[in-house]
Structure 1
Amino acid sequence: MWIIRWVLITILVLALVGFLGLNQDELVDVNFFFWETPPIALAYALFVAFALGMVAQLLISIVSQFQLRAHISRQKRQIGRLQDELEKLRSLSIEEEILAPEDSTPGIQHQSGD
């Protein structure tokens, strides 16, 4: 899977370099809400947009990682509690069998031999 990712990244970078090479003399104005840039090179505008997109993705990934780690931590605590409960239930049933007399099964009345 990592090979496919690197091939796609390489193709994207090569396409970007080719596009920038063909349009290196182009100037663009960037309008962002009420903010406007003076004419800047298309390559610079694309680079800034790409860099901002990468930073945004990094921030989203970091938040997602923290959420996943918190979820894993909660799951580990729950597993620990359930394992403790299971161990208590296992030892409880063994202790009950050892302590309970064999003749006193609940719900069954024993008749004495006359």
Structure 2
Amino acid sequence: MFQISYDQAKNRITVKVQSITMEEVETYIQEFNKVLTQVKPGFTGLTDLSEGKLFTQEVAVALGPLGELSVQKGLSKWAYFTGSAVSKMQMKRMFGDIVLSFEKLEDAEAYLN
């Protein structure tokens, strides 16, 4: 399961991921695109993977293009936090230098603010 929200005051997308299956990918992409219609250029993003499971390769490939789409919509910074070294590597492979990894929520928010 996942949750995607937009904080207009901070101009920030927040994503909390416990898991995303191939059956959920299309719903995730639709919800993410819907939120992207609300952002203003220079927006930031925060993903909470602290309770998340690794994505399957299939899911990772399906979600990868969302990083570039976010950049096209005006993304300035995106951070995620997780305690998993493997999850950090997966996010790096999926999104490259678009995202930075943090072990604590406070550190990720400090980077974005």
Query: TM-score, normalising length from structure 1?
Result: 0.24
Higher relative contact order (CA 8 A, sep 6+): 2
Structure with a larger share of its residues in strand: 2
Indicate the structure (1 or 2) with the bigger Cα radius of gyration: 1
Structure with a larger share of its residues in helix: 1
Query: TM-score, normalising length from structure 2?
Result: 0.24
